Amino acid sequence: MKKFFTLIAVAVLAFAAQANELTVGEGMSYSNVNPICGLYADTEGTMTQTVYPATMLTDMAGNEITAVTFYTLNWYYETNAGYTSSDETDFINFDGAKFQLALTEIDENGFTEAVAFVGATAVATCVPEYGDTEVTFVLDQPFAYTGKSLVVEVTCIETEGDWGQTYFFGSAAETECSYYFVPGADNGEDAIGISKHMPMATFAYQQAAPQPQYNPVAPKVTVQTNDADVVIEGIIEGAAADYGTVTLYTVDEEGVRHLVENPQSFAREAEDYVVTIIAVATYVNGEVVESEPVAVTISKKVVDPTSIDEMNAGKTVANVRYFNMAGQQMQEANGMTIVVTTYTDGTTSAVKVMK
């Protein structure tokens, strides 16, 4: 039966991070448990998690993570002592294993019990080669890091079953910062545990791409009337107009909203009425802003058909045609009607009337 163990190494590592890189967990211990559970790299489903506290990652907050690198014990030998260890456990000695890296941010700084954090987003895969002293996951897409504690999860997703034990360099943390899970490792029972080993990790990051600056403002309602025609507009003033779309609603006495299907022609048959209108602006960032309810009194000029003769006294009528509001000619005036009169002198007049 395989067993876990962690060795503490008395070592002080001086590591100078390059520009756009941040290295944490610098060289106080090494372990075969995290970040890749080297003792069980031959078992698919083996998973580890490490919580890197927000206080360690302050310099990276507000940027995008592009890669994560972990270091084996032999990396330290080669970098600081100038020689290569002959012990196979000091470098990658498992073949054919493919690992998946997933990231998520949390508020906690560690584990209080052996229960994994959920919700990590898979961001990269890696197949380390035999003899490697570093394991680098290059992210498929940059991960936007906002500044909370960061969970780094590594899972074995494919393996050829070649067993190998590998130690990774890191530091001894004050809290339980690492979690491991191995399916069926202990006589068929899952192996689960937490430890204080924090693997040394280098986060490569870049400045986050600038995001559009939204300044959502409440839309306004404007109403124009011209006899029976009513045109309603919802407007957003200022630069925010570049980011918003507006939908108009009327609101009935019970507060129920009704979509204004055709704001450009809001004709009603009543002579005078009051309508309450709300404009709703939806911005491309998903924010929704509403106008105040606007009560608008709409008055229409309704002309009695008998007044046509009075309006055109002294002229001789050649013919009279009647059209509905859709522009279709009718035999006689019916409801809201456009009356087009043609005179013998060639002039015409068009009047909307209510019959």
Q: Is residue 26 pLDDT above 70, yes or no?
A: yes
pLDDT value of residue 345: 66
Judge residue 46's burial from the number of C-beta atoms within 10 Å of its C-beta, 0-12 exposed, 13-18 middle, 19 or more buried: buried
pLDDT value of residue 279: 92
pLDDT value of residue 104: 97
> In the chain, where does DSSP find H-type helix?
73-76, 307-311
* Local confidence band at 164 (pLDDT 50, 70, 90 cut-offs): confident
pLDDT value of residue 225: 66
> How are beta strands 189-195 and 98-106 bridged, if at all?
unpaired
pLDDT value of residue 349: 65
pLDDT value of residue 3: 39
* pTM greater than 0.85: no
pLDDT value of residue 312: 52
Q: Are 125 and 98 in contact (CB under 8 A)?
A: yes
Please give the residue that has the higher pLDDT: either 119 or 301.
Answer: 119
Q: What angle do CA 345, 348, 354 make, to 5 degrees?
A: 140
Q: What are phi and psi of 187, to 5 degrees?
A: 55, 40
* Local confidence band at 89 (pLDDT 50, 70, 90 cut-offs): confident
* Local confidence band at 142 (pLDDT 50, 70, 90 cut-offs): very high
Of the candidates 156, 167, 158, the one whose C-alpha atom is nearest the C-alpha of residue 133 is 167
C-alpha to C-alpha distance for 34 and 125, rounded to whole angstroms: 16
Q: Is residue 12 pLDDT above 60, yes or no?
A: no
Please give the residue that has the higher pLDDT: either 254 or 343.
Answer: 254
Q: Is residue 179 pLDDT above 60, yes or no?
A: yes
* Local confidence band at 177 (pLDDT 50, 70, 90 cut-offs): very high
C-alpha to C-alpha distance for 250 and 294, rounded to whole angstroms: 9
Please give the residue that has the higher pLDDT: either 102 or 80.
Answer: 102
Of the candidates 154, 156, 176, 172, the one whose C-alpha atom is nearest the C-alpha of residue 164 is 156
Please give the residue that has the higher pLDDT: either 66 or 324.
Answer: 66
Domain ranges of the chain: 6-207, 220-299, 307-354
Helix, strand and coil percent figures for the chain, each rounded to 5: 10, 45, 45
C-alpha to C-alpha distance for 299 and 116, rounded to whole angstroms: 67
Hey, is 193 helix, strand or coil? Answer: strand
pLDDT value of residue 57: 97
Please give the residue that has the higher pLDDT: either 260 or 143.
Answer: 143
C-alpha to C-alpha distance for 199 and 326, rounded to whole angstroms: 75
Mean pLDDT of the chain: 81
Q: Is the dihedral of CA 219, 220, 223, 224 positive or negative?
A: negative
Q: Output the six-digit token pair for 157.
A: 């997703």
Hey, is 79 helix, strand or coil? Answer: helix
CATH class (in words) of the domain with range 220-299: mainly beta
Q: Is residue 221 pLDDT above 90, yes or no?
A: no
C-alpha to C-alpha distance for 307 and 350, rounded to whole angstroms: 12
Hey, is 344 helix, strand or coil? Answer: coil
Percent of the chain at pLDDT above 90?
37
Which one-letter DSSP state was computed for residue 164? -
* Local confidence band at 101 (pLDDT 50, 70, 90 cut-offs): very high
Q: Is 147 left (phi over 0), alpha (psi -120 to 50) or beta?
A: left
What is each CA distance from 352 to 247, 302, 323, in whole angstroms? 29, 7, 9
pLDDT value of residue 313: 54
Cross-strand pairs, 71 = 134
Please give the residue that has the higher pLDDT: either 75 or 13.
Answer: 75
Q: Is residue 275 pLDDT above 50, yes or no?
A: yes
Among the residue ranges 41-50, 282-291, 329-338, the one predicted with the least confidence is 329-338
pLDDT value of residue 270: 58
Q: What are phi and psi of 242, to 5 degrees?
A: -70, -15
Please give the residue that has the higher pLDDT: either 67 or 355.
Answer: 67
> What is the side-by-side strand order in the sheet with 29-31?
6-7, 29-31, 168-172, 197-199
